[in-house]
Structure formats: structure tokens, C-alpha cells
Structure 1
Amino acid sequence: MVVKNKLKAVDFFCGGGGMSYGMQLAGIEVLAGIDFEITCKETYLANIKGAQFLNYDVFELSEAELEHKLEINKFDDDLVFIGCSPCQYWSLINTDKKKSEKSKSLLSEFERFVQYFSPGYVVVENVPGVLNRREESGLGEFIDWLVDNDYVVHYEVHNTSEYGVPQNRRRFTLIANRVNELELSPIKSSKLLTVADVIGEKNGFPKVQAGHQDKTPFRHSVARLKDVTLRRLKKVKKDGGNRLGFANDPELQLPCFVGKDSSFKDTFGRLWWNKPAPTITTKFFSVSNGRFVHPEENRALSLREGATLQSFPKSYIFHGRTNEIIARQIGNAVPPEYSRRIAQAIINSRNSIT
């Protein structure tokens, strides 16, 4: 017979709710999101219906306290623990390791809760760096514990573009299962989505100028640009051009790029219409922090465009005092469609039990 889905999840380091939303979309009940960043609370609660937001620093949260607050039990086969800890320390693009040093121990803190509760399923999503440096990050020890405690463990670096997300985003993903003997991995998509599939006028994104501020929940807001930056963008070729378009103009060329035409070419670069977007970082709102210029318009991506490229639905509500806060919520998120495909793999494995 088919097993009825009774799965419930606790989302550690939940941020603005990307992972929780995908889990919920697949049919898993989300009990709570846990995060020390209070600016995520309003966004999380606006979209993850029925869930609690626990504003805690995980270093200061005890296992017994979580057990009491959520009324969850040890060795619950229906329980999913999710740990997508902030990854700045292990990211290749991070340059200031001192600021992010505390984050390098977050995986070990998450392991503490996994060891205490032994949930039926464990999901971890992070930058590939945690695998490349598995001993230093604590990942190797964590995997060893899972295997020793009868979990079947899948772990690999996946590109979310293969999983229904219109974005090249390489992420380490671990799914551990102790309920049956199946190795679970995210469910792949049959179609590669591109930028043209999700943004642009035909997809409900009207043309706007740099500096446009959208006060509606749609958040089609765009960063302002200096006149000289706008002049630079006008020389960048449409649909995939880069900063070499203004490299030979002495008034526009940046001194730091003189003689370095082969370096950092994504800076001031445009997205391609017929390719997935590059990784949407917390700085996607800025033309000088990567290939984040609209394929045709002379501006950076809007907040809503960045969210859409992260696979958030257009109905997703973002709250934040500044555009930068919202951009950080979007860039740090697990793409909800990727999360949904992880959740669906778990659900399918349970429904296959007869």
C-alpha cells in the first residue's frame, strides 16, 4: 500500500525561507525555521505558512530546548533536519575570512542536533568548499557518524541548472536517510531553463531605468548608477557582452583593469538570454560585482529578477528595510525549486514502500 506522507521538517539557518518554501511546496510540513538574523523573520513568516521562526544563535540553543519548543521526538522516522549553514568561510569568492570565521563551525553545531535527535532524514546544502576541505569543515566526521549510525548517505556537488533552476549554481548537497536502504538524490529536470524563459517583458518584467524603486510587493527595484557607469554599460554589447566593450575608451576604462583584459571579465558583464544565469550572489544588485547586468537594458538586475532567477515565485513576499537587506536574503537562499526536488526525492522514497 502507499504510505501517507506525514513528513515534517526543521530548517536550521533558514534565512528568508528558500529551502523551507520548496519543502512545503512538495508537501512536507515545516515546523520551524531557525536563524540568528532577525531581518529574515518577516520574510520567512510571510511565506512559510504555519511555521515558527526561532530567532536563535545556534551556538546558544540546546537540544533539550529545541525538543521542548517544537515538541519533537528522538528517532522520529517522519522528521527531516535541514542544515544550510552560512557558507562565507568556505566560499571561494570570500576574501575576509576573519569576519566569517565563526561560520566555519556551524556544520558541527548542526551535527550536534542530528546526533541528539537522529531524525529520519538529514539534508545539508552548502558551497563546494565544504567538500573540498571536508576534514577542516567537519564534513568528513559528520558523514562518518551518519554512516556509523545506519544512514544511507548521498553527497555530491550538483549544478542547480540541472534541477529546474535557471541559474548555474554549483552546490554541495547531502541527503541522508535511515528509514530505508535507498540512496536519495535530487530529482533532475528534463529541461534546461534559461534567462529568457523567466525574465524579460514577455514574462511580466516591464522595462525600467537604473534607480527605479518599486514600492509594490513585486519589488522590481533597481540600483542607482553614476553617470560614468551608465556610459560604460551603453558600450557593453547586448546579450552577453562584457567590460571589454569600453576597455579602449580612456575616459571609461577603470585603472584597475588596464592591461588585464583577460581578468575579471564578468565585471560589468551582461547575462545571456539563452543561457542560465550565473550564480546569483548577495551582490547581484550591483553591476560591478559580477555578470549582473540585464541582457539588454542598461542597469543591474532588479530584486525581483534576482529572486526569479533563484526560482522564487513572483508571489513570494520579501521584507527588508533596505534593498541591500532583501538582496542578501535572495542571494543567500537555497533555490526553492532545488529544495522541492530534494523534498520530492524523500517523499517518493517513502511512497515506494509497500
Structure 2
Amino acid sequence: MPDGQAFTEVRGADHSYLRMTHRPKQVASRRTIRTVDLFAGCGGTALGIEEACRSLGYRSHIAWAIEVEAAACRVFRDNFAEANLVEDDIRSFLASDVGASLTQVEECLRDEVGPVDLLVGGPPCQGHSDLNNFSRRNDAKNGLYLYMARAAKVFRPSNIIIENVQGLPHDRSGVLKRTLDVLSDEGYHLSHGLVDIARLGVPQRRRRHIVLASRVGPVRDLDDIVRDAECEERDVAWAIKDLSDRTSGSIVDTPSRPSKDNHARMDYLFDNGLFELPNEQRPPCHRDKKQTYTSVYGRMRWDRPSQTITSGFYSMCMGRYVHPERRRTITAHEAARLQFFPDYFKFESAKSRTALARIIGNAVPMKLSYVLARDLLVER
């Protein structure tokens, strides 16, 4: 794929993009999009914005980013060497009271960062997640969502993208409504709702809640944005079949070693041509009860999208993560492809399999931020 060419504008280009081994060059442009990225993770959202800018003929610059996890910061720096990334807690810089006057620290930060075209963030979402039965919709971390509204008051960005899990609107503390009210009071036009990322060509089942805001002008309806970007559904084979026998010596291509019991369960699936593990083959604690998550201990199918990729993808007891044709769970490389990370994205500095799983499982597929940022930034 030629440098400077938008990957969604060429037939089959998504497929080629995921297999690129060298990062596309930034284009020469008089316009640079300056981004602030909160809860930056390893850089999935930043990657989508970079590609959106490149497709529009703009340069991309991460004026300020913050992430608290050390391993994620190492990966982010490896992939965005020119970014102004801070390894710290957002609460060290922004006030918790959304409506308070700016603190001296916030004023200094605003002056240091300068003009901001795009504020993005995906606050920690475990408490909102429908996969979290223990703290569902009643988690102290849910309050971190309000820091996106606070950041809007501090940086006064032209545009905002906030990403979170689909359960956010049901949060008991009402963080979504409070955030929308603050943004509206600050003069932002708003659009929000759920996005099924499979509609955008990401080869997995994953629904996310999105808020778009702009001070430049009205924001298009989120459903219209998704409809215009919609493409055919991609399956597991489309994403990772070429990696089935890949051996590179890298941690990203090395599968985990299952326990003796899980190895026997994998053998049972393959020896019997099954994709679901029968009840009698499950651990005693999982038998003879209604199964809420039937995909647990399951085997992927080539001809369907994967289930949501989480930090548990190395273990079959965490979901349907057994490879379609190999007696193993998927590798970090395969999980990254399913999360729409191209092959040139560097993960090795994560150093451990545990860190890799957490970083990739918590990432935002870049295709989502690509579509959303491109729609906000395009000149109409």
C-alpha cells in the first residue's frame, strides 16, 4: 500500500494494512492535528487518529498523553516516539470537581500543551462492563469518566471522542449524563450511542459506547457515521489464518502453555470435532449449572468473527480463545490482529505475557478511532 494512501479507500486495503511490516510515513502538510490522549493505553486510539490524519492529508502530533500503567507506556513510546507521554495518574493533573475553577496546575498544563484539535480518551471501564458481575455499574473507577469533561474545560479542544463499554449509560452514578451536561454547557455539539465495531470491519464482536463532541459545528449522527463507513463482516480467517504456523522467537508469537487439564480439554475438542466443550468435560465448579458464558472453553471458528478480545485470551477458561485448527489458545500476535493492530506495531517492550495480555485486551481497535476522527476532522 503506497505511503499516504488511505487504507479504507482501496479494495482489500484493510487486509493489507494489518499485514504491513513498516509504518506508513506521515504526509507533508501545512496542517497538524494536535491531540490530547487521556488513559492512552498502548496507543490503539492514537494509531487510529494517526491513520485518519494521514488519509486526510494532515500530520498528526500527540501534544500530551497520559497513562498510568508502566508496560503500556513502554509500548506507547516504542510506537509514538515523538509523543509527549506522561506516565502518571490523571488525578495528579486534573481536579476531581468538574465545575471548579481551574487550578494552577491545570492552567500550567493548558499553557504547556497549547492548542488542542482533538481530545480523546477511554477511561477505565471495568465497573461499567457487563462482563463484571462483582462491581457492575457501581465501581469507584467509574468516576474517572468525568475527567474527560474536566479535560474539556481545561484544554478547550475543538473536538472530543470518548469511548467506553456498552453498559456505561446504566451506571448508577449517572456519569454519562453529568458529562454530557458539562460538555453542552461548554458549548459543544453532541452525538452519542452504541457502535458495533464488527460493522466497521473489525473481526470481533464488540460494542462500545461513544460520545462525540465538537465546538466547530454540529456533529453528525453516530448511526450515520457508522453507516457511511460500514463494510462487510470479517471473520477470524480473514484476520489470522496466515499466522497459524508462524514462529518468530518473539514473545508475541509464542503461545501460552496450557495446564494438563486444559490441554486435555483442547484434545477433546479437536478429537471430537467440537467447538463447544460438553458439560461433563468442564471443571466440576462449571458443571450442572446454567452457563452464562457458553463460549468459555470454546474453540474459535474460521468463518465467524471472534468474541470480544479481553486480557484473558491466553486461557481457554476465560472465553472462546482456542485456535480454530491448532491445539493451543491464540497468540498475542493473533489477538492483536483481531484488535486491528497492524504487524508493524511493536509490543515486545511489554516484556511479560501477563502485561501483553492486559495491554492488548484493554486496547481500543484503531479502526474505531480512525472512522470517528476522520468524520470529525474532515473539512466540509
In structure 1, stretches of 5+ residues that fail to align are: 209-213
SS state at 1:7 partner: strand
In structure 2, stretches of 5+ residues that fail to align are: 1-28, 54-59, 95-102
Do the aligned partners of residues 15 and 67 (structure 1) sit closer, same or farther apart at CA in structure 2, a change above 3 Å counting? farther
Shift of 1:17: 0.7
Do the aligned partners of residues 42 and 215 (structure 1) sit closer, same or farther apart at CA in structure 2, a change above 3 Å counting? farther
Do the aligned partners of residues 64 and 121 (structure 1) sit closer, same or farther apart at CA in structure 2, a change above 3 Å counting? farther
1:235 is aligned with what amino acid?
Y
Match for residue 92 of structure 1 among 130, 135, 142: 130
**TM-score w.r.t. structure 1 length?**
0.85
Is 2:372 aligned against 1:342?
yes
- Write the deviation string for residues 167-204 of structure 1: whole angstroms up to 9, x where unpaired: 1111001111110123263542322111110112xx24
Specify the alignment match of 1:206 in structure 2. 245
Measured in 1, the distance between the counterparts of 2:117 and 2:180 equals 19
Q: Is the 8 A contact 1:127 1:171 kept in 2?
A: yes
SS state at 2:199 partner: helix
**TM-score w.r.t. structure 2 length?**
0.80
Measured in 2, the distance between the counterparts of 1:65 and 1:23 equals 27
Give the root-mean-square deviation of aligned CA atoms.
2.5
Specify the alignment match of 1:243 in structure 2. 277
Match for residue 181 of structure 1 among 212, 218, 226: 218
Specify the alignment match of 1:224 in structure 2. 257
Specify the alignment match of 2:285 in structure 1. 256
Match for residue 43 of structure 2 among 13, 17, 36: 17
Do the aligned partners of residues 144 and 21 (structure 1) sit closer, same or farther apart at CA in structure 2, a change above 3 Å counting? same
Q: Is the 8 A contact 1:23 1:29 kept in 2?
A: no
Q: Is the 8 A contact 1:239 1:272 kept in 2?
A: no
Shift of 1:311: 0.2
Shift of 1:329: 0.4
Shift of 1:147: 2.0
Measured in 1, the distance between the counterparts of 2:131 and 2:46 equals 26
Shift of 1:148: 2.8
- Write the deviation string for residues 113-137 of structure 1: whole angstroms up to 9, x where unpaired: 212222111110001121122x614
Do the aligned partners of residues 240 and 171 (structure 1) sit closer, same or farther apart at CA in structure 2, a change above 3 Å counting? farther
Shift of 1:101: 3.7
Do the aligned partners of residues 298 and 137 (structure 1) sit closer, same or farther apart at CA in structure 2, a change above 3 Å counting? farther
Specify the alignment match of 1:50 in structure 2. 82
2:237 is aligned with what amino acid?
A
1:25 is aligned with what amino acid?
E
- Write the deviation string for residues 131-181 of structure 1: whole angstroms up to 9, x where unpaired: 122x61411011112223321211111111111211111100111111012
Specify the alignment match of 2:21 in structure 1. none
Q: Is the 8 A contact 2:191 2:219 kept in 1?
A: no
Measured in 2, the distance between the counterparts of 1:236 and 1:227 equals 15
Specify the alignment match of 1:211 in structure 2. none
Q: Is the 8 A contact 2:314 2:321 kept in 1?
A: yes
Shift of 1:6: 3.3
* Number of aligned residues: 330
SS state at 1:33 partner: strand
Of 291-300 and 58-67, more deviation after overlay is shown by 58-67
SS state at 1:123 partner: strand
Q: Is the 8 A contact 2:107 2:154 kept in 1?
A: no
Is 2:350 aligned against 1:320?
yes
Match for residue 161 of structure 1 among 179, 198, 210: 198
